[in-house]
Amino acid sequence: MISRKEITELLLSKEPEIISNLYKRAADLKLQTIGPKVHLRGLIEISNICRKNCLYCGIRKANTLCERYTLTDEEIMTCAKHAYAAEFGSIVIQGGERTGRQFTERITSLVERIKFIGNGALGITLSLGEQSEEVYKEWFEAGAHRYLLRIETSDPDLFRKIHPNDGHHTYDRRIKALMDLKSIGYQAGSGVMIGLPWQNAEHLASDLLFLREMDFPMIGMGPYVPHDDTPLTVTTTTDPEASFPSVADRLELSLKMISLLRILVPDINIAASTALEALHPKGRIMAIHAGANIVMPNITPSDYRKYYNLYDRKAILLEDLDLGDAEIGFGEWGDSLHFFNKV
Ligand code: SAM
Ligand code: SF4
Protein backbone atom coordinates (compact mmCIF):
# COMPACT_ATOMS: atom_id res chain seq x y z
CA MET A 1 0.00 0.00 0.00
CA ILE A 2 1.21 3.48 -0.82
CA SER A 3 1.67 5.87 2.13
CA ARG A 4 0.75 9.56 2.42
CA LYS A 5 4.46 10.40 2.47
CA GLU A 6 5.10 8.47 -0.76
CA ILE A 7 2.07 10.09 -2.41
CA THR A 8 3.31 13.57 -1.53
CA GLU A 9 6.83 12.77 -2.74
CA LEU A 10 5.51 11.46 -6.05
CA LEU A 11 3.34 14.55 -6.51
CA LEU A 12 6.41 16.74 -5.95
CA SER A 13 8.82 14.64 -8.04
CA LYS A 14 10.33 16.18 -11.18
CA GLU A 15 12.27 13.03 -12.17
CA PRO A 16 11.05 11.92 -15.63
CA GLU A 17 11.85 8.26 -14.91
CA ILE A 18 9.96 8.21 -11.60
CA ILE A 19 6.98 9.92 -13.24
CA SER A 20 6.83 7.59 -16.26
CA ASN A 21 7.16 4.56 -13.95
CA LEU A 22 4.20 5.87 -11.95
CA TYR A 23 2.03 6.17 -15.08
CA LYS A 24 3.08 2.70 -16.23
CA ARG A 25 2.40 1.10 -12.85
CA ALA A 26 -1.13 2.58 -12.86
CA ALA A 27 -1.85 1.60 -16.48
CA ASP A 28 -0.67 -1.99 -15.80
CA LEU A 29 -2.83 -2.15 -12.68
CA LYS A 30 -5.86 -0.95 -14.64
CA LEU A 31 -5.26 -3.63 -17.27
CA GLN A 32 -5.00 -6.38 -14.65
CA THR A 33 -7.97 -5.19 -12.58
CA ILE A 34 -10.63 -3.89 -14.95
CA GLY A 35 -9.23 -4.79 -18.36
CA PRO A 36 -8.19 -2.77 -21.38
CA LYS A 37 -11.47 -1.05 -22.28
CA VAL A 38 -12.36 2.61 -22.16
CA HIS A 39 -16.09 3.35 -21.74
CA LEU A 40 -17.90 6.38 -23.10
CA ARG A 41 -20.43 8.75 -21.55
CA GLY A 42 -22.00 11.17 -24.04
CA LEU A 43 -22.03 14.52 -22.23
CA ILE A 44 -25.12 16.71 -22.74
CA GLU A 45 -24.70 20.20 -21.27
CA ILE A 46 -28.39 21.00 -20.89
CA SER A 47 -28.16 24.58 -19.60
CA ASN A 48 -25.69 27.14 -18.26
CA ILE A 49 -28.25 28.78 -15.96
CA CYS A 50 -27.05 28.35 -12.37
CA ARG A 51 -28.14 29.65 -8.98
CA LYS A 52 -24.65 29.27 -7.51
CA ASN A 53 -21.63 31.54 -7.55
CA CYS A 54 -18.58 29.29 -7.26
CA LEU A 55 -15.66 31.71 -7.53
CA TYR A 56 -13.83 29.70 -10.24
CA CYS A 57 -16.71 28.98 -12.62
CA GLY A 58 -17.46 30.95 -15.78
CA ILE A 59 -21.19 30.19 -15.71
CA ARG A 60 -21.67 31.38 -12.11
CA LYS A 61 -24.88 33.31 -11.58
CA ALA A 62 -23.23 36.70 -11.11
CA ASN A 63 -21.32 36.55 -14.42
CA THR A 64 -23.41 38.96 -16.45
CA LEU A 65 -21.12 38.50 -19.45
CA CYS A 66 -22.25 34.89 -19.82
CA GLU A 67 -25.01 34.43 -22.39
CA ARG A 68 -27.53 31.94 -21.00
CA TYR A 69 -29.18 29.04 -22.82
CA THR A 70 -31.32 26.00 -22.04
CA LEU A 71 -31.77 23.08 -24.43
CA THR A 72 -35.36 22.12 -25.21
CA ASP A 73 -36.64 18.67 -24.25
CA GLU A 74 -36.56 17.70 -27.91
CA GLU A 75 -32.95 18.84 -28.32
CA ILE A 76 -31.98 16.76 -25.28
CA MET A 77 -33.87 13.72 -26.62
CA THR A 78 -32.12 14.10 -29.99
CA CYS A 79 -28.74 14.09 -28.22
CA ALA A 80 -29.68 10.98 -26.24
CA LYS A 81 -30.85 9.18 -29.40
CA HIS A 82 -27.60 10.16 -31.06
CA ALA A 83 -25.65 8.64 -28.12
CA TYR A 84 -27.68 5.44 -28.47
CA ALA A 85 -27.14 5.27 -32.23
CA ALA A 86 -23.41 5.86 -31.77
CA GLU A 87 -23.34 3.04 -29.17
CA PHE A 88 -22.01 5.26 -26.40
CA GLY A 89 -23.67 3.08 -23.76
CA SER A 90 -24.31 5.95 -21.34
CA ILE A 91 -25.02 9.65 -21.19
CA VAL A 92 -24.35 12.37 -18.65
CA ILE A 93 -26.92 15.14 -18.22
CA GLN A 94 -25.01 18.08 -16.80
CA GLY A 95 -25.89 21.68 -16.11
CA GLY A 96 -25.99 24.58 -13.71
CA GLU A 97 -27.64 23.96 -10.35
CA ARG A 98 -31.33 24.84 -10.25
CA THR A 99 -34.18 24.07 -7.89
CA GLY A 100 -37.97 24.31 -7.94
CA ARG A 101 -40.60 21.77 -8.97
CA GLN A 102 -40.74 22.94 -12.56
CA PHE A 103 -37.05 22.16 -13.02
CA THR A 104 -36.91 18.94 -10.99
CA GLU A 105 -40.04 17.47 -12.61
CA ARG A 106 -38.70 18.30 -16.03
CA ILE A 107 -35.56 16.27 -15.28
CA THR A 108 -37.70 13.39 -13.93
CA SER A 109 -39.74 13.24 -17.11
CA LEU A 110 -36.64 13.53 -19.33
CA VAL A 111 -34.98 10.64 -17.48
CA GLU A 112 -38.15 8.55 -17.94
CA ARG A 113 -38.29 9.36 -21.64
CA ILE A 114 -34.59 8.57 -22.16
CA LYS A 115 -35.12 5.23 -20.42
CA PHE A 116 -37.52 4.28 -23.25
CA ILE A 117 -34.79 4.66 -25.88
CA GLY A 118 -33.70 1.15 -26.85
CA ASN A 119 -35.71 -0.24 -23.92
CA GLY A 120 -33.44 1.03 -21.16
CA ALA A 121 -30.28 0.67 -23.23
CA LEU A 122 -28.66 3.92 -22.09
CA GLY A 123 -27.07 4.32 -18.66
CA ILE A 124 -28.00 7.73 -17.25
CA THR A 125 -25.70 9.85 -15.11
CA LEU A 126 -26.89 13.16 -13.70
CA SER A 127 -24.68 16.08 -12.70
CA LEU A 128 -26.98 18.88 -11.60
CA GLY A 129 -25.44 20.00 -8.33
CA GLU A 130 -26.75 19.86 -4.78
CA GLN A 131 -30.40 18.87 -4.46
CA SER A 132 -32.63 17.71 -1.60
CA GLU A 133 -32.68 14.02 -0.70
CA GLU A 134 -36.27 13.83 -2.03
CA VAL A 135 -35.26 15.17 -5.44
CA TYR A 136 -32.29 12.78 -5.67
CA LYS A 137 -34.69 9.92 -4.81
CA GLU A 138 -37.23 11.00 -7.42
CA TRP A 139 -34.57 11.09 -10.14
CA PHE A 140 -33.16 7.72 -9.03
CA GLU A 141 -36.61 6.14 -9.17
CA ALA A 142 -37.12 7.62 -12.64
CA GLY A 143 -34.05 5.66 -13.82
CA ALA A 144 -30.88 7.69 -13.23
CA HIS A 145 -28.34 5.41 -11.60
CA ARG A 146 -25.17 7.49 -11.38
CA TYR A 147 -24.60 11.02 -10.08
CA LEU A 148 -21.53 13.24 -10.35
CA LEU A 149 -20.88 15.81 -7.65
CA ARG A 150 -17.32 16.86 -7.02
CA ILE A 151 -16.18 17.81 -3.55
CA GLU A 152 -13.84 20.18 -5.48
CA THR A 153 -11.32 20.02 -2.61
CA SER A 154 -11.43 17.90 0.53
CA ASP A 155 -9.88 20.69 2.59
CA PRO A 156 -12.62 22.74 4.29
CA ASP A 157 -10.42 25.88 4.46
CA LEU A 158 -9.53 25.74 0.78
CA PHE A 159 -13.19 24.98 -0.02
CA ARG A 160 -14.10 28.24 1.77
CA LYS A 161 -11.53 30.19 -0.21
CA ILE A 162 -12.90 29.11 -3.59
CA HIS A 163 -16.58 29.59 -2.75
CA PRO A 164 -18.48 32.69 -1.65
CA ASN A 165 -19.24 33.04 2.03
CA ASP A 166 -23.00 33.43 1.58
CA GLY A 167 -24.33 30.33 3.36
CA HIS A 168 -25.21 28.61 0.06
CA HIS A 169 -21.81 27.11 -0.67
CA THR A 170 -20.83 25.08 2.38
CA TYR A 171 -18.55 22.09 2.71
CA ASP A 172 -20.99 20.39 5.10
CA ARG A 173 -23.85 20.65 2.62
CA ARG A 174 -21.68 19.16 -0.10
CA ILE A 175 -20.78 16.22 2.15
CA LYS A 176 -24.45 15.74 3.10
CA ALA A 177 -25.45 15.68 -0.58
CA LEU A 178 -22.78 13.06 -1.32
CA MET A 179 -23.92 10.91 1.62
CA ASP A 180 -27.55 11.19 0.44
CA LEU A 181 -26.57 10.05 -3.06
CA LYS A 182 -24.74 7.04 -1.67
CA SER A 183 -27.51 5.99 0.69
CA ILE A 184 -30.16 6.23 -2.06
CA GLY A 185 -28.16 3.74 -4.11
CA TYR A 186 -26.58 5.86 -6.82
CA GLN A 187 -23.12 5.06 -8.06
CA ALA A 188 -21.90 8.36 -6.67
CA GLY A 189 -18.99 9.99 -8.44
CA SER A 190 -16.92 12.76 -6.97
CA GLY A 191 -13.58 14.41 -7.55
CA VAL A 192 -11.46 17.50 -7.14
CA MET A 193 -9.87 20.29 -9.11
CA ILE A 194 -6.10 20.11 -9.43
CA GLY A 195 -3.72 23.07 -9.39
CA LEU A 196 -6.04 25.49 -7.61
CA PRO A 197 -4.72 28.73 -6.12
CA TRP A 198 -3.39 28.10 -2.56
CA GLN A 199 -3.42 24.31 -3.14
CA ASN A 200 -0.26 22.33 -2.34
CA ALA A 201 0.88 18.70 -2.59
CA GLU A 202 -0.35 18.00 0.96
CA HIS A 203 -3.85 19.10 -0.01
CA LEU A 204 -3.78 16.84 -3.07
CA ALA A 205 -2.51 13.86 -1.07
CA SER A 206 -5.36 14.44 1.40
CA ASP A 207 -7.81 14.62 -1.52
CA LEU A 208 -6.73 11.18 -2.74
CA LEU A 209 -7.01 9.66 0.72
CA PHE A 210 -10.40 11.33 1.21
CA LEU A 211 -11.72 9.94 -2.09
CA ARG A 212 -10.60 6.45 -1.08
CA GLU A 213 -12.02 6.84 2.43
CA MET A 214 -15.42 7.94 1.08
CA ASP A 215 -15.40 4.83 -1.11
CA PHE A 216 -16.69 6.50 -4.29
CA PRO A 217 -16.96 4.02 -7.16
CA MET A 218 -16.16 6.66 -9.77
CA ILE A 219 -13.98 9.74 -9.82
CA GLY A 220 -13.55 12.67 -12.17
CA MET A 221 -10.61 14.91 -11.34
CA GLY A 222 -9.29 17.57 -13.64
CA PRO A 223 -7.05 20.59 -13.76
CA TYR A 224 -8.26 23.99 -12.65
CA VAL A 225 -8.49 26.17 -15.77
CA PRO A 226 -8.90 29.89 -15.07
CA HIS A 227 -11.74 31.88 -16.60
CA ASP A 228 -11.11 35.62 -17.10
CA ASP A 229 -14.52 36.76 -15.85
CA THR A 230 -14.39 35.06 -12.45
CA PRO A 231 -13.42 36.43 -9.03
CA LEU A 232 -10.81 33.70 -8.54
CA THR A 233 -8.87 34.90 -11.58
CA VAL A 234 -8.94 38.46 -10.22
CA THR A 235 -7.65 37.18 -6.84
CA THR A 236 -4.79 35.31 -8.48
CA THR A 237 -3.61 38.52 -10.09
CA THR A 238 -3.82 40.59 -6.89
CA ASP A 239 -2.90 38.16 -4.08
CA PRO A 240 0.66 36.76 -4.35
CA GLU A 241 -0.32 33.85 -2.07
CA ALA A 242 -3.00 32.78 -4.54
CA SER A 243 -0.54 31.62 -7.17
CA PHE A 244 -1.15 28.37 -9.00
CA PRO A 245 0.94 26.02 -11.17
CA SER A 246 1.77 26.56 -14.86
CA VAL A 247 -0.19 24.76 -17.60
CA ALA A 248 2.55 22.10 -17.90
CA ASP A 249 2.63 21.54 -14.14
CA ARG A 250 -1.17 21.33 -13.84
CA LEU A 251 -1.21 18.78 -16.65
CA GLU A 252 1.51 16.70 -15.01
CA LEU A 253 -0.11 16.96 -11.56
CA SER A 254 -3.47 15.87 -12.99
CA LEU A 255 -1.93 12.80 -14.64
CA LYS A 256 -0.07 11.91 -11.45
CA MET A 257 -3.30 12.23 -9.44
CA ILE A 258 -5.04 9.79 -11.82
CA SER A 259 -2.20 7.27 -11.50
CA LEU A 260 -2.02 7.57 -7.72
CA LEU A 261 -5.77 7.10 -7.36
CA ARG A 262 -5.66 4.02 -9.62
CA ILE A 263 -2.96 2.59 -7.34
CA LEU A 264 -4.95 3.44 -4.20
CA VAL A 265 -8.28 2.00 -5.48
CA PRO A 266 -7.59 -0.19 -8.54
CA ASP A 267 -11.17 -1.20 -9.44
CA ILE A 268 -12.93 2.19 -9.67
CA ASN A 269 -13.96 4.15 -12.75
CA ILE A 270 -11.68 7.14 -13.34
CA ALA A 271 -12.59 9.74 -15.96
CA ALA A 272 -10.14 11.40 -18.30
CA SER A 273 -11.57 14.86 -17.65
CA THR A 274 -12.50 17.19 -20.49
CA ALA A 275 -10.55 20.03 -18.84
CA LEU A 276 -7.32 18.12 -19.60
CA GLU A 277 -8.02 18.66 -23.27
CA ALA A 278 -8.10 22.42 -22.64
CA LEU A 279 -4.48 22.15 -21.48
CA HIS A 280 -3.18 19.73 -24.11
CA PRO A 281 -4.74 18.42 -27.35
CA LYS A 282 -3.84 14.86 -26.34
CA GLY A 283 -4.76 15.37 -22.66
CA ARG A 284 -7.34 12.61 -22.57
CA ILE A 285 -5.14 10.04 -24.29
CA MET A 286 -2.41 10.89 -21.77
CA ALA A 287 -4.93 10.33 -18.96
CA ILE A 288 -5.86 6.89 -20.36
CA HIS A 289 -2.17 6.00 -20.42
CA ALA A 290 -1.93 7.15 -16.80
CA GLY A 291 -4.79 4.86 -15.64
CA ALA A 292 -8.13 6.50 -16.58
CA ASN A 293 -10.87 4.32 -18.15
CA ILE A 294 -13.79 6.68 -18.82
CA VAL A 295 -14.13 9.40 -21.47
CA MET A 296 -17.03 11.83 -21.78
CA PRO A 297 -17.31 13.00 -25.41
CA ASN A 298 -19.31 16.19 -25.66
CA ILE A 299 -22.54 15.59 -27.60
CA THR A 300 -24.16 18.96 -26.85
CA PRO A 301 -25.41 20.56 -30.11
CA SER A 302 -22.37 22.49 -31.38
CA ASP A 303 -24.20 25.87 -31.55
CA TYR A 304 -24.54 25.88 -27.75
CA ARG A 305 -21.11 24.63 -26.71
CA LYS A 306 -19.49 28.06 -26.71
CA TYR A 307 -21.94 29.24 -24.03
CA TYR A 308 -21.10 26.45 -21.55
CA ASN A 309 -17.97 28.31 -20.69
CA LEU A 310 -16.79 27.02 -17.32
CA TYR A 311 -13.25 27.96 -18.24
CA ASP A 312 -11.32 29.01 -21.31
CA ARG A 313 -11.96 26.00 -23.51
CA LYS A 314 -11.84 27.34 -27.03
CA ALA A 315 -9.38 24.53 -27.75
CA ILE A 316 -12.03 21.87 -27.22
CA LEU A 317 -15.10 23.34 -28.90
CA LEU A 318 -14.63 21.13 -31.92
CA GLU A 319 -13.41 17.97 -30.29
CA ASP A 320 -13.04 14.75 -32.18
CA LEU A 321 -13.05 11.39 -30.51
CA ASP A 322 -9.40 10.52 -30.98
CA LEU A 323 -8.54 8.13 -28.16
CA GLY A 324 -5.37 6.77 -29.75
CA ASP A 325 -5.09 2.99 -29.61
CA ALA A 326 -7.57 2.60 -26.73
CA GLU A 327 -10.12 -0.25 -26.99
CA ILE A 328 -13.60 1.26 -26.64
CA GLY A 329 -16.47 -0.59 -24.91
CA PHE A 330 -19.14 0.40 -27.45
CA GLY A 331 -22.75 -0.19 -26.38
CA GLU A 332 -21.76 -1.06 -22.80
CA TRP A 333 -22.67 0.79 -19.61
CA GLY A 334 -19.17 0.35 -18.19
CA ASP A 335 -20.34 0.42 -14.59
CA SER A 336 -17.81 0.64 -11.82
CA LEU A 337 -16.45 -2.77 -10.89
CA HIS A 338 -15.78 -1.36 -7.42
CA PHE A 339 -19.50 -0.64 -6.91
CA PHE A 340 -20.45 -4.25 -7.64
CA ASN A 341 -17.50 -5.72 -5.77
CA LYS A 342 -18.87 -3.90 -2.71
CA VAL A 343 -22.51 -4.89 -3.28
N1 SAM B 1 -23.32 22.60 -11.49
C2 SAM B 1 -22.95 21.25 -11.27
C3 SAM B 1 -21.88 21.15 -10.20
O4 SAM B 1 -21.27 22.16 -9.87
O5 SAM B 1 -21.70 20.03 -9.71
C6 SAM B 1 -22.47 20.55 -12.52
C7 SAM B 1 -21.77 21.40 -13.53
S8 SAM B 1 -20.24 22.09 -12.97
C9 SAM B 1 -19.89 23.21 -14.25
C10 SAM B 1 -19.13 20.72 -13.21
C11 SAM B 1 -17.73 20.89 -12.70
O12 SAM B 1 -17.06 21.87 -13.46
C13 SAM B 1 -17.57 21.37 -11.29
O14 SAM B 1 -17.71 20.32 -10.36
C15 SAM B 1 -16.15 21.96 -11.30
O16 SAM B 1 -15.21 21.07 -10.74
C17 SAM B 1 -15.85 22.13 -12.79
N18 SAM B 1 -15.37 23.50 -13.05
C19 SAM B 1 -16.03 24.66 -12.92
N20 SAM B 1 -15.21 25.70 -13.19
C21 SAM B 1 -14.00 25.18 -13.48
C22 SAM B 1 -12.73 25.72 -13.81
N23 SAM B 1 -12.54 27.05 -13.88
N24 SAM B 1 -11.71 24.87 -14.06
C25 SAM B 1 -11.88 23.54 -13.99
N26 SAM B 1 -13.05 22.95 -13.66
C27 SAM B 1 -14.09 23.76 -13.40
FE1 SF4 C 1 -22.91 26.50 -10.88
FE2 SF4 C 1 -21.62 24.13 -10.94
FE3 SF4 C 1 -20.48 26.41 -11.91
FE4 SF4 C 1 -20.78 26.14 -9.27
S5 SF4 C 1 -19.50 24.85 -10.63
S6 SF4 C 1 -21.29 27.98 -10.47
S7 SF4 C 1 -22.73 25.02 -9.19
S8 SF4 C 1 -22.28 25.37 -12.69
- C-beta 153 within 6 A of ligand 1: no
Q: How far is the CA of 258 from the centre of ligand 2 (A)?
A: 23
Closest ligand 1 atom number to CA of residue 130: 5
- What pLDDT is stored for residue 12 in this prediction? 98
3-state secondary structure the chain: CCCHHHHHHHHHCCCHHHHHHHHHHHHHHHHHHHCCEEEEEEEEEEECCCCCCCCCCCCCCCCCCCCCCECCHHHHHHHHHHHHHCCCCEEEEEECCCCCHHHHHHHHHHHHHHHHHHHCCCEEEEECCCCCHHHHHHHHHHCCCEEECCCECCCHHHHHHCCCCCCCCCHHHHHHHHHHHHHHCCEEEECEEECCCCCCHHHHHHHHHHHHHCCCCEEEEEECCCCCCCHHHHHHHHCHHHCCCCHHHHHHHHHHHHHHHHHHCCCCEEEECHHHHHHCCCHHHHHHHCCCCEECCECCCHHHHCCCCCCCCHHHCCCCCCCCCCEECCCCCCCCHHHHHHC
Cα 275 from Cα 270, distance rounded (Å): 14
- What pLDDT is recorded for position 319? 58
Phi, psi of 158, deg, nearest 5:
-65, -35
CA of 85 to the centre of ligand 2 (A): 30
Asked if 219 and 261 touch (Cβ cutoff 8 Å), the reply is yes
- pTM score: 0.95
Ligand 1 mean position, distance from CA 57 (Å): 6
Which atom of ligand 1 is closest in space to residue 56's alpha carbon?
23
Q: If you take atom 11 of ligand 1, which residue's CA is the nearest one?
A: 150
Instruction: Determine the Cα angle at 275 with ends 159 and 297, to 5°.
Output: 130
- Span from the CA of 49 to the centroid of ligand 2 (angstroms): 9
Pocket lining: 57 vs ligand 1, CB cutoff 6 Å: yes
Task: Say how far apart CA 218 and CA 211 lie, in whole Å.
Answer: 9
Pocket test for ligand 2, best of 43, 46, 57 (most atoms within 8 A of CB): 57
Judge if the beta carbon of residue 162 lies within 6 A of ligand 2.
no
3-state secondary structure 17-83: HHHHHHHHHHHHHHHHHHCCEEEEEEEEEEECCCCCCCCCCCCCCCCCCCCCCECCHHHHHHHHHHH
Say which ligand is closest to the CA of 149. 1
pLDDT of residue 276: 94
Q: Which of 45, 59, 310, 312 to mutate to test the pocket of ligand 1 (most atoms within 8 A of CB)?
A: 310
What pLDDT tens digit does each residue of the chain (343 aa) get?
899 999 999 999 999 999 999 999 999 999 999 999 999 999 999 999 999 999 999 999 999 999 999 999 999 999 999 999 999 999 999 999 999 999 999 999 999 999 999 899 999 999 999 999 999 999 999 999 999 999 999 999 999 999 999 999 999 999 999 999 999 999 999 999 999 999 999 999 999 999 999 999 999 999 999 999 999 999 999 999 999 999 999 999 999 999 999 999 999 999 999 899 999 999 999 999 999 999 999 999 988 888 888 887 655 555 566 777 788 888 888 887 787 776 5
Q: What is the dihedral of CA 231, 219, 266, 297, to 10 degrees?
A: -110
Ligand 2 centroid – CA 53 distance (Å): 7
Distance from Cα 10 to the centre of ligand 1, integer Å: 26
Q: What is the pLDDT of residue 218?
A: 96
pLDDT of residue 316: 52
Instruction: List pLDDT tens digits, range 120-160.
Output: 999 999 999 999 999 999 999 999 999 999 999 999 999 99
- Look at residue 330 in the predicted model and tell me its pLDDT: 83
Ligand 2 contacts CB of residue 129 (under 6 A): yes
Rounded Cα distance between 328 and 320, Å, is 15
Kindly list the structural domains of the chain, giving each domain's residue range(s) and its CATH number in brackets, ordered by start. Answer: 4-324 (3.20.20.70)
Cα–Cα distance, 180 to 182 (Å, whole number): 5
Q: Which atom of ligand 2 is nearest to the CA of 96?
A: 8
Ligand 2, atom 6: closest residue by C-alpha = 60
Give 282-298 pLDDT, tens digit per residue: 999 999 999 999 999 99
The answer, yes or no, to whether any atom of ligand 1 lies below 6 A from the CB of 56, is yes
- Ligand 2 midpoint to CA 155 (Å): 18
